[in-house]
Chain A
Amino acid sequence: MDALVQRSDEELARRAVEGCGAAFEELANRHERGVYGFFLRRTGHIQDAEDLSQRAFVAAWKALGRYDPKRPFRHWLYAIAHRLSIDHYRARRREEDLVEAVPEREGMEAWASGEVWDAARRRLDGAQWTALWLMYAEGLSVREIAGVLGRSTVGVKVLLHRARRKLARAWAAEYGWRLPQAEREAVS
């Protein structure tokens, strides 16, 4: 197991394809928190996030035979997670379960973390939200996000720009934003 910890994701995925269960377990150990966070912010429900996380890893395990080791495993995993989140929202629409989920905030700072992503989820479409999440939460570059979402880099830049524009308009109207000079100086 110690040797597995030192392996790259792609090497572990190769081993998992060959039938090494411990390799896949190590992969799950590395990425489950990120995938769970993605689903928690995406759905706003702890239970949904847990279910979707399980389904994402089961889907990844089933699809390992089609995984290309030249591609980063994390990007491939998030592509699966993104598709699952889309399916999840389609199913919810079919069930006419369009009631806004109440954000679950235990252990989160209200505005600084949870509320931002919950508000973004309510205002953005799936691809815009996922692109923002991958950029800020996972630290992926535009090129990497393009790989996950199956879009061009220009397409992702436009996606991110429109997402920020939509949020800026909504938040400015909602909170009457005034950006103090000191805050801009501090952050940039």
Chain B
Amino acid sequence: MICWWCRWQISRAADERRPLAEPVRRHADGCAGCAAHWKAALVLRSAMAPLPCPPDLHGRIMRAVRGAQAVAQEPAGWRRGVPASLWAAAAAALLAVVAVGVWFHSRWPSGRSGAEPAAWVSGFRWGAVEERAERLVRAALEAERHGLREDLLTTGRGLLAALDISFSDIRPGSATSSNGAL
């Protein structure tokens, strides 16, 4: 007999709680592997000593069940009402944020330019700020230009004095100096 078939037959006999067929038994007598398979089934069947049970197991189980019952039967008060109201508040806040966003978006025209913010921020004179800034920048530039001109004139006069020539000697197109050198 083939061993795998014999072991399957042993398992079937164990499942159905019936004795082994004679050919299977004969094979198992001479086959250590099939005998071990048979013994495993027998050991499992015999290993059913009663288990000690904790003394208050029933009480603990029923306390756990009653605890679950109590939680399930709680009225829709603070446990269930609060989350619902929180959800409602969160939804209202979200709606408000979206509405404000849409309102701002509609008030802000596309193609932004420098003067446009003054149009939607009421009460804020954007033009006055711009004019003042422009005046300040112009004044600074003018002061810088004036200072630069003075510096250039002073330096030029110094150089000319060092060369012993005056402004009046300089003429456009003149290529030579008074001493004939370049």
Interface residues of A (CB under 8 A from B): 21, 24-25, 28-29, 32-33, 36-37, 40-41, 46, 50, 53-55, 57-58, 61-62, 106-109, 111-114, 116-117, 120, 132, 135-137, 142, 157, 160-161, 164-165, 167-169, 171-172, 177-179, 181, 183-184, 187-188
Contact = CB atoms under 8 A, between A and B. Distances in A.
Nearest to B40: A168
B47 A113 contact: yes
Interface in B1-57: 7-8, 10-12, 14-15, 19-20, 25, 28-29, 32-33, 35-49, 51-54, 57
Given A157-B12, A168-B37, A179-B36, A136 B44 contact: yes
Contacts of A58: 64-65, 67-68
Contact of A112 (B32, B46, B69): B46
B61 A177 contact: no
30 contacts: A21-B66, A28-B61, A33-B53, A33-B57, A40-B51, A54-B60, A54-B64, A57-B64, A62-B68, A113-B48, A113-B49, A114-B49, A132-B44, A142-B15, A157-B12, A160-B14, A164-B11, A164-B14, A164-B44, A165-B37, A168-B39, A169-B36, A171-B36, A171-B40, A171-B43, A172-B36, A172-B39, A183-B42, A184-B42, A188-B20
Contact of A32 (B36, B46, B58): B58
Interface of B: 7-8, 10-12, 14-15, 19-20, 25, 28-29, 32-33, 35-49, 51-54, 57-58, 60-62, 64-69, 72
Given A25-B62, A137-B48, A177-B39, A165 B29 contact: no
A57 B65 CA distance: 7
B52 A181 contact: no
A114 B60 CA distance: 24
B52 A168 contact: no
A interface majority secondary structure:
helix
6 closest cross-chain pairs (CB), A and B? A113-B49, A116-B47, A172-B36, A168-B40, A161-B11, A107-B52
A53 B57 contact: yes
Contacts of A167: 40, 44
Given A33-B53, A161-B7, A177-B32, 20 more contacts: A28-B65, A50-B60, A54-B60, A58-B65, A113-B49, A113-B51, A157-B11, A157-B15, A161-B8, A164-B10, A164-B40, A164-B44, A168-B40, A169-B33, A171-B40, A171-B43, A183-B42, A184-B28, A184-B42, A188-B20
A164 B8 CA distance: 10
B25 A184 contact: yes
Contacts of A109: 49
Given A53-B61, A164-B41, A61 B36 contact: no
Contact of B52 (A61, A106, A178, A187): A106
Contacts of B49: 108-109, 112-114
Contact of B39 (A54, A61, A179): A179
